[in-house]
């Protein structure tokens, strides 16, 4: 199994969630072993994708360098991970990735348009060797060894539409596209009003998020899945875990997980090389794992 990039550059323009202004996004191919690189074209600053460059996890995953940052990277990265893309340059002319419809479906379509190009260098994966858990109260995120790749997520909200939801994704590209990619980000009306008072979420609307008041969903079209909320949490987790720099194989489990807990999980995993093993995929092993790695 070989590393991949995209076959041709592709572009789109969308609204930034927090500033509410148009953002141009361009994806370009990169050669083998370059990983995912972000570039602020308005500032001429490159920001490599790695846990050390994470500067904020409160409302989204944000990476930064030299005083410049790029926010809300997780939805795009979730799609890139699902497509098994190992090398990619992500160019934006602002400080956030366009929110599109609040899911990763638009980014999947953009990657379909770009196509995939196989490179000559073998693909590497990270095999989880030990259980790693990060807890805060009753909330936790966990990685454990496995020969498969699964995301098992549970959420619980004191809201009649959400309540307690659980979903398990047995990861493949097609399962991701069919069951996860269309799940939108969500928020509560009182939170949106507060954020706007602080100059944030200026681009947020019913066009790019599921919004709830105290009793119901405000979007006239309703939900895309009855459990769209927990499915979106898996979408976020896949994007957050892509900051490891390579695909991993193992089980991810979370209760009330967040961008912050996911970031702390990547740091805890990478802290000790005994926690994982980097393996080149070749021969029979590559065929065995091909279903999970696009």
* Residues designated as active site: 259
Query: Order of strands across the sheet with 68-70?
Result: 54-56, 62-65, 68-70
| DSSP assignment of 219-285 | -TT--SSTTHHHHHHHHHHHHHHGGGSSEEEEEEEEES--HHHHHHHHHHHHT-GGGEEEEE--HHH
The answer to whether 61 and 263 have CB atoms below 8 angstroms apart is: yes
Distance CA 89, CA 64 (A): 15
Q: Chain centroid to CA 263: how far?
A: 12
| DSSP assignment of 12-74 | EEEEBTTT-SEEEEEEEE--TT--EEEEETTTTEEEE-SGGGEEE-SSS-EEEETTEEEB--H
Burial bucket for residue 69 (CB in 10 Å: 0-12, 13-18, 19+)? buried
Q: Chain centroid to CA 106: how far?
A: 13
The answer to whether 179 and 231 have CB atoms below 8 angstroms apart is: yes
Query: Order of strands across the sheet with 22-29?
Result: 10-15, 22-29, 88-92, 36-40, 45-48
């Amino acid at each position: 199994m070989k590393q991949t990039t995209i076959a041709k550059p592709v572009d789109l323009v969308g609204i930034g969630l927090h500033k509410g202004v148009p953002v141009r996004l361009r994806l370009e191919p990169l050669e083998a072993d370059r990983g995912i690189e972000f570039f602020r074209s308005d500032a001429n600053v490159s920001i490599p994708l790695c846990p050390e460059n994470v500067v904020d996890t409160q409302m989204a995953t944000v990476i930064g360098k030299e005083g410049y940052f790029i926010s809300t990277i997780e939805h795009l990265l979730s799609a890139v991970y699902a497509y098994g893309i190992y090398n990619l340059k992500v160019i934006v002319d602002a400080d956030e990735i366009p929110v599109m419809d609040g899911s990763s479906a638009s980014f999947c379509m953009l990657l379909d348009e770009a196509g995939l190009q196989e490179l000559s260098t073998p693909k590497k994966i990270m095999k989880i060797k030990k259980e790693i858990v990060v807890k805060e109260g009753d909330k936790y995120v966990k990685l454990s060894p496995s020969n498969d790749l699964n995301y098992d997520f549970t959420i619980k909200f004191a809201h009649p539409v959400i309540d307690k939801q659980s979903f398990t994704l047995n990861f493949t590209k097609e399962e991701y596209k069919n069951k996860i990619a269309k799940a939108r980000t969500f928020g509560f009306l009182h939170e949106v009003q507060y954020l706007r008072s602080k100059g944030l979420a200026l681009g947020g609307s019913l066009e790019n998020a599921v919004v709830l008041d105290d009793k119901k969903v405000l979007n006239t079209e309703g939900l895309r899945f009855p459990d769209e909320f927990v499915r979106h949490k898996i979408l976020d987790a896949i994007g957050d875990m892509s900051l490891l720099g390579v695909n991993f194989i193992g089980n991810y489990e979370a209760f009330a997980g967040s961008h912050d807990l996911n970031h702390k999980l990547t740091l805890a995993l990478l802290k000790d090389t005994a926690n994982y093993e980097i393996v080149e995929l070749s021969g029979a092993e590559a065929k065995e794992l091909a279903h999970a790695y696009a």
